[in-house]
Chain A
Amino acid sequence: MITVFNDIYSVLWVDLRFLRRHWLSTLVISLINPLLYLVAFGYGLGSGINFGGVGYLEFVIPGIIALTSMSTSFSGSSSKLHIDRLFYRSFDACLMSPISLFSIVVGKALIGLVRGLLSSVAILAVGVVLSPVLLVTPLFVLVLFTSCFVFAMLGVLIGLVMNTHHAMGTFSNLVMLPMTFLSGTFFSLNQLPDALKAALYVLPLTHSSASLRAAALGQPFPWLSFVAFLGFGLFFFVCSMVVLKRSSA
């Protein structure tokens, strides 16, 4: 067991070295979009809107934290893995070493988790200042942690599957960008027709956003959504393992 932890840390270590050297620029870049959303939607478009007694700013901040956890964790694990695998070819060093595929997958996901948490906590700090009603409970921390890990795992899967920069860009534009806007981050899904609402529940960010919002605003917690979200994480992990195993066939 200790060996597995050591192996996971060995895989993570190399990405932590990179982060240590570039932490400030990494953090600043990852905060630009969420802060723009906060200003544009929270203060601009949404001022005066109210959801069942909850002000729009209070409503949207958990959603923006959810999408920050998604985008930063996803890119944190996918982009470096993609570069290491296809351009630096340094990923082969992991494959030719005596550490398990499990350790490689988890180690590569952990850098996404670290980067996602770093950015999400920064946005959370801004959010708590702007909207003191937000509750940072252990449940909120658990959901945030889970959200970062699940999207980091998605990043690992995509980093392993996509073989060109173009394919990475296409995935971001066709999947990640629509998910950013359609997953109940900026509006309540209750406003939508039932069929569309059901369709949007196939997006993992919908579950992350709903769970984070409920935890932050002290609303009834959607445990079913949270379990479904964990299911997405498990699915991404299993797929990553299969892809990595097949890569040596």
Chain B
Amino acid sequence: MEEFIVTEKLTKSYGNVKAIQDLDLNVHAGEVFGFLGPNGAGKTTTIRVMTTLTKPTSGSVRIGGFDVVKESDKVKRMIGVVQQHLSLDRDLTVRENMEFHARLHHIGSSERKRRIEELLEYVELTEYADSMVDTLSGGMKKRASIVASLTHQPKMLFLDEPTVGLDAQARRRLWDLVRRLNSDGTTIFLTTHYIEEAEALCQRVGIMHHGQLIALDTPLELRKKLGLITVETLVDNKQTHYQYFADRDAATSYVQNLPPDVKTIIIRDSNLEDVFVEQTGQKVGDNQ
């Protein structure tokens, strides 16, 4: 399988603090890769290094075969980046923002016009093309950010918390767009706080904690390692306890042997949130 991103012993320090520590990570070409971790785990720093905004302290990152430090120009031509916060010029229209991005990437005039029209249609923003960015809804602003980052036809798209602050409908619409981009051949590197988002979109996920990669696999394999079935028990309405089992039979047997004071018992399929909490000791989105 072709690797699109390869990091080797990637480390980024700020003074004595190691934001990323010896990160070895491969992202396959053509996949949607989910990057999870609590706030401050090192996700955004990793993206900043991968997108050439920050230089690593040691180790290396290659994207599409090119080193992000030594061959940053080639890397920049291959990647599109949608940051967590809106990073469009709010004094301009959607079309002007797209044109600005296209100009920065040396797209010629006629090609620029053609691509902008095509992309606006692709994300269903044609009728808002000449609206000022600030007048758009949250979901439309995010789609405008994505579409601006696509004007130079990147092979790889970084999406940093793309659905934060969006309502459920806008979030699902964005998921559809991510799936469509991926099926059209774009490799996607996505960070998210929403576990259901990672489960819905990602073929593989990596979990960062304290700057280190502590888990990396498909969501199903990560669940298998933990146990596919979760049993939640609540005693005296105080604290919920979680136990994990390979199958439903094992879980049922465990429940049958519970003491009588256990009042609330839930048996369900495990999910990535269970994996995340067990690996990090924190809920997704918690501060460290």
Contact = CB atoms under 8 A, between A and B. Distances in A.
Nearest to A14: B100
Interface in B83-114: 83, 85-92, 96-97, 100-101, 103-106
Contact of B106 (A6, A96, A248): A6
B262 interface: no
Interface string B10-52: 0000000000000000000000000000000000000000011
Interface stretch (A85-93, A147-155, A234-242): A85-93
A90 B76 contact: no
Contacts of A21: 91
Contact of B76 (A3, A7, A96): A96
Contact of B92 (A6, A11, A17, A89): A17
Interface in A102-144: none
B268 interface: no
B54 interface: yes
B87 A88 contact: yes
Nearest to B103: A10
B81 interface: yes
B77 interface: yes
Contacts of A96: 51-53, 76, 79, 81
Interface in A162-192: none
A249 B87 contact: no
A203 to B, nearest CB: 32
Interface string A1-23: 00100110011011001100100
B73 interface: yes
A94 B55 CA distance: 17
B126 to A, nearest CB: 20
Query: B76, B79, B81, B103: which has the most chain A beta carbons within 10 Å?
Result: B103
A99 interface: yes
A18 B92 contact: yes
A154 B274 CA distance: 53
A98 B92 contact: no
Nearest to A13: B103
A58 to B, nearest CB: 40
A249 B100 CA distance: 26
Query: B51, B73, B96, B100: which has the most chain A beta carbons within 10 Å?
Result: B100
Interface in A1-59: 3, 6-7, 10-11, 13-14, 17-18, 21
A89 B87 contact: yes
A226 B97 CA distance: 39
Contacts of B86: 88-89
Query: B51, B86, B104, B106: which has the most chain A beta carbons within 10 Å?
Result: B104
Contacts of B90: 88
Contacts of A219: none
A10 B54 contact: no
B55 A249 contact: yes
Contact of A94 (B54, B92, B104, B106): B104
A95 interface: yes
Nearest to A11: B104
A97 to B, nearest CB: 4
Interface of B: 51-55, 73, 76-77, 79, 81, 83, 85-92, 96-97, 100-101, 103-106, 148
Interface of A: 3, 6-7, 10-11, 13-14, 17-18, 21, 84, 88-90, 92-99, 248-249
14 contacts: A13-B100, A21-B91, A88-B88, A88-B89, A89-B85, A92-B53, A94-B104, A97-B101, A97-B105, A98-B104, A98-B106, A248-B53, A248-B54, A248-B55
